[in-house]
A = this chain, B = another copy of it.
Amino acid sequence: MKTHGIILFGHGARDPRWAEPFERLAAKLRGARGGPVSLAFLELMSPDLPTAVAQLAADGCDAITVVPVFFGQGGHVRRDLPEVVEKCRAANPDVVISCATAVGEDDAVLDAVAEYCLRQVSR
Minimum CB distance partner of A109 in chain B? B112
Number of interface residues of A (CB under 8 A): 52
Main secondary structure of the interface of A (DSSP, over half): helix
Chain B CB within 8 A of A8 CB: yes
Contact with B along A7-45 (1 / 0, CB 8 A): 010100111011111101100110011010000000000
Measured CB to CB, the closest approach of chain B to A100, in angstroms, equals 4
Stretch of A49-57, A64-72, A81-89 at the chain-chain interface: A64-72
Chain B CB within 8 A of A108 CB: yes
Q: Which of B13, B73, B115 contacts A72 (CB 8 A)?
A: B13
| Residue of A10, A22, A25, A33 most packed against chain B (CB within 10 A) | A25
